[in-house]
Amino acid sequence: MRKLFSQKDRRFGFLPGRHRQPDLPDELWEKCAGCGEMIYLAEFEQNAHVCPKCGYHARLSARKRVALLLDPDSFEERDAAMRSEDVLAFERPERSYEQKLADEAEKAGLPEAVIYGAGKIRGEPVVLAVIDTNFFMATMGSVVGEKITRAIELATESRTPLVIVSASAGARMEEGMFSLMQMAKTSAALARLHEAGVLYVSVLTDPTLAGVTASFATLADVIIAEPQATIGFTGPRLIEQITHAKLPAGTHSAEFMLERGMVDCIVPRGDLQQTLARLMSMYGNRQPAPAADTPRPVETAP
Amino acid sequence: MAYEFEQPLVDLRARIDSLESERKNGKPDDAGPELQELRAELARQTTDVFAQLSPWDRVQLARHPQRPRTLDYIRSAFTDFVELHGDRRHGDDLAVVGGPARLNDMPVMVIGHQKGKDAKDNQRRNFGMAHPEGFRKARRLMLQAEKFGLPLVTLLDIPGASPFLADEERGQAWAIAENLQTMSRLRTPIVVTVIGEGGSGGALALGIGDRVLMLEHSMYSVASPEGAASIVWKDAKFAPEAAKSLRPFADDLANLGIIHRIVPEPAGGAHVDPRGAAQLLKTALVEELAALQELPLPKLIDRRYGFYRSLGVVAP
């Protein structure tokens, strides 16, 4: 599904480098994918990639997201070097999967599409995982699933609130069924986190689709979405391909999903840290869960 | 209908059938030796044809329109089935069926995806592409299985979860995710079997269990070969190449440790002998459930977690 986001389309976000006007020095200006205005790059950076003119939320790298959310120098990253393997010896056109991974790593400056670790938000401990769309459109293979699962287990064992900032075009084809099974693995780990009574806040950013939405990204106590983020299972362009019909504008947006009851709130990037801190301070100090041998009450069928 | 690769087998079977009916109609019995020879020839050719299937042939076989579906297996391998409908929230999705039934006298909850038998049935059942309300009906029945201590048997056969805007509006991704979480902790034994096409997240939404089985000629894939081809090759016409690369067949997935057991099918495939296929499935299910019921529940659920926790290959 990642090819759906590789072309120019304002619905799918800000694609740096593609919208520059030739008559302006490249390194100083960025054209906003929301309003088309030219933004002074320094101002764009300072504003965490949100257009100061129209409020459009362009994509943000995982490193910048960590810097935005966590207290300075509080991030203790884990498993930073974990890499994918070509476990299926997947035959693909042009480049081998290994070569593709190397190219993506160079482009994104990361060995895989997710980083995680322990840190602090306004002095309070948190386990944070952030997915980066610059690496292979943030597709989920074994490494994304494994690092997300380790983040969930770290939060569960240390009884620390968990925040995952999600984005993804879906499962990574090159790892076949191992990719699909990451949905099962992360969901099973979250079931245990919830049994232990630990808070999980999911932040959906542009785009969060397919297998990631249908697993850990939505199994949260609170689901926050970024303004205008594309969210769903089958993405808008794929639906158009299948139905041979144009969709109305705005389907799959965070606002569309809020209206249909699928997310709790839409929080602008500048307010995200404060909202997380508030939720953690009110939800984060729960008494320890009952002993493990107490059977959980049978859920009444909906 | 028959695929090109099975046409010689279909022709042979037709000749055998016509000779057999001639015999039944009291014609003098000079066809005996010929029949025997034809049957031996059919067995030989079946072995040959199936030994040489290409990955794309195998995809066709898993999707064979005459392949038995969930309700066929329920009718042949189970008794006393009471079909329960609806998710109590939105509607009843006919692409998912389920309810209590007996397997050799033992009450179980059986839930499966249901593809249509013909064009009209497929229209009612959305070609087996389940809606959110189908997954939510399944979850309601899973929780009933837990409440009443029934082991859960699921049968997977879905091209993929329904991909339309209305499904998005009703939370397709949310419905699938909830099932994954619920099944991973459900306090009853679960045996999952892929009977035809195990298509992506929509298959997995009924697919978390203590034992995962695949019928010999079924497939289970992260995406349809067409979908994977349009992502990786940028063109759906490379689906046969994708079918090879994805390694979606029962023997592939048993070798990779993603499934536990392959259930054999009658020679020529389940569609040639649906009752025989149901019997083979029943035997496997009875064995698997008997073994699972030996385990205390906490151990079973820890083991289930351990299995899914172990899936994935990474370089540290």
| B137-182 pLDDT per residue, tens | 999 999 999 999 999 999 999 999 999 999 999 999 999 999 999 9
Task: Give the pLDDT of residue B32.
Answer: 79
Angle formed by the axes of helices B70-77 and B274-292, to 10°?
A: 70
Contact A184 B208 (CB under 8 A): yes
Quick check: B306 contacting A, CB < 8 Å? no
Residues 6+ apart with CB under 8 A from A116: A77, A78, A79, A127, A128, A129, A130, A147, A148, A150, A151, A154
Quick check: A1 contacting B, CB < 8 Å? yes
Task: Decide: helix, strand or coil at residue A124.
Answer: strand
Task: Decide: helix, strand or coil at residue A24.
Answer: coil
Distance CA B126, CA A239 (A): 15
Tell me the two tokens of residue B49. 């044809």
Q: A171: which chain B residues are within 8 Å (Cβ-Cβ)?
A: 200, 222-223
The two beta strands, A114-121 and A124-131, are: antiparallel
Mean pLDDT, chain A cut into blocks of 10 residues (302 residues total) = 43 45 68 91 92 94 97 98 96 96 97 98 97 98 98 97 98 98 98 97 98 98 98 95 92 97 98 98 71 60 56
Q: CA of B152 to nearest chain A CA: how many angstroms apart?
A: 16
Task: Give the pLDDT of residue B26.
Answer: 72
Instruction: Please name the residues between 49 and 108 in chain B that touch chain A, using a CB distance below 8 Å.
Output: 87-89
Distance CA B18, CA B206 (A): 42
CA-based end-to-end distance of chain B: 50
φ/ψ of residue A138, rounded to 5 = 55, 35
CA-to-CA dists, residue A289 to A195, A281, A295, B303, angstroms: 8, 18, 12, 22
Domain ranges of chain B: 4-52, 60-309
Tell me the two tokens of residue A250. 């705005």
Tell me the two tokens of residue A28. 């100083």
The residue that leads in pLDDT, B26 or B100, is B100
Quick check: A192 contacting B, CB < 8 Å? yes
Asked if the model's pLDDT at residue B228 lies above 60, the reply is yes
Q: A189: which chain B residues are within 8 Å (Cβ-Cβ)?
A: 309
For CATH 3.90.226.10, list the domain ranges present in chain A.
60-283
Task: Give the pLDDT of residue A2.
Answer: 45
Asked if the model's pLDDT at residue B290 lies above 60, the reply is yes
Instruction: Please name the residues between 159 and 198 in chain B that touch chain A, using a CB distance below 8 Å.
Output: 161, 163-165, 167-174, 176-178, 180-182, 184-185, 187
Task: Give the pLDDT of residue B316.
Answer: 83
- Are the C-beta atoms of residues B93 and B130 closer than 8 Å to each other? yes
The CATH number of the structural domain formed by B60-309 is 3.90.226.10
The CATH number of the structural domain formed by A60-283 is 3.90.226.10
Task: Give the pLDDT of residue A284.
Answer: 76
Quick check: A143 contacting B, CB < 8 Å? yes
Nearest residue of chain B to residue A86 (CA atoms): B313
Distance CA A233, CA B171 (A): 8
Q: Give A33's strand partners.
A: none
Q: A182: which chain B residues are within 8 Å (Cβ-Cβ)?
A: 311-312
Quick check: B218 contacting A, CB < 8 Å? no
Q: A91: which chain B residues are within 8 Å (Cβ-Cβ)?
A: 241, 244-245
Task: Give the pLDDT of residue A14.
Answer: 44
Task: Decide: helix, strand or coil at residue A216.
Answer: coil
Which amino acid, residue B246? L
Quick check: A258 contacting B, CB < 8 Å? no
Quick check: A156 contacting B, CB < 8 Å? no
> Of A239, A216, A236, nearest to A228 (Cα)?
A236
Quick check: B3 contacting A, CB < 8 Å? no
Quick check: A260 contacting B, CB < 8 Å? yes
Tell me the two tokens of residue B306. 């351990």
User: What letter would DSSP give residue A12?
Assistant: G
- The pLDDT of B1-8, averaged and rounded, is 88
Q: b/e string for B178-193 if b means 16 or more Cβ within 10 A? A: bbbbbbbbbebbbbbb
Which amino acid, residue A249? A
- Are the C-beta atoms of residues B221 and B199 closer than 8 Å to each other? yes
> Of A51, A22, A71, nearest to A228 (Cα)?
A51
Task: Give the pLDDT of residue A296.
Answer: 63
Task: Give the pLDDT of residue A275.
Answer: 98
Distance CA A214, CA B172 (A): 8
Q: pLDDT band for B29, please (50, 70, 90 cuts).
A: low
Instruction: Please name the residues between 10 and 49 in chain B that touch chain A, using a CB distance below 8 Å.
Output: none
Tell me the two tokens of residue B187. 């306090």
| B180-220 pLDDT per residue, tens | 999 999 999 999 999 999 999 999 999 999 999 999 999 99
Nearest residue of chain A to residue B170 (CA atoms): A260
ipTM reported for the complex surpasses 0.90 = yes
Task: Give the pLDDT of residue A93.
Answer: 95
- Are the C-beta atoms of residues A272 and A67 closer than 8 Å to each other? no
| B40-78 pLDDT per residue, tens | 999 999 999 999 999 999 999 999 999 999 999 999 999
Q: What is the mean pLDDT of chain B?
A: 96
Task: Give the pLDDT of residue B21.
Answer: 86
Q: A252: which chain B residues are within 8 Å (Cβ-Cβ)?
A: 168
**Residue by residue, what is the 3-state secondary structure of chain B?**
CCCHHHHHHHHHHHHHHHHHHHHHCCCCCCCHHHHHHHHHHHHHHHHHHHHCCCHHHHHHHHCCCCCCCHHHHHHHHCECCCCCCCCCCCCCCCCEEEEEEEECCEEEEEEEECCCCCHHHHHHCHHHCCCHHHHHHHHHHHHHHHHCCCCEEEEEEECCCCCCHHHHHCCHHHHHHHHHHHHHHCCCCEEEEEEEEEEHHHHHCCCCCCEEEEECCCEEECCCHHHHHHHHCCCHHHHHHHHHHCCCEHHHHHHCCCCCEEECCCCCCCCCCHHHHHHHHHHHHHHHHHHHCCCCHHHHHHHHHHHHHCCCCEEC
Tell me the two tokens of residue B145. 């299985």
Residues 6+ apart with CB under 8 A from B7: none
Distance CA B257, CA B109 (A): 26
| B245-287 pLDDT per residue, tens | 999 999 999 999 999 999 999 999 999 999 999 999 999 999 9
- The angle subtended at Cα A212 by Cα B164 and Cα A86, nearest 5°, is 115
Q: CA of B179 to nearest chain A CA: how many angstroms apart?
A: 9
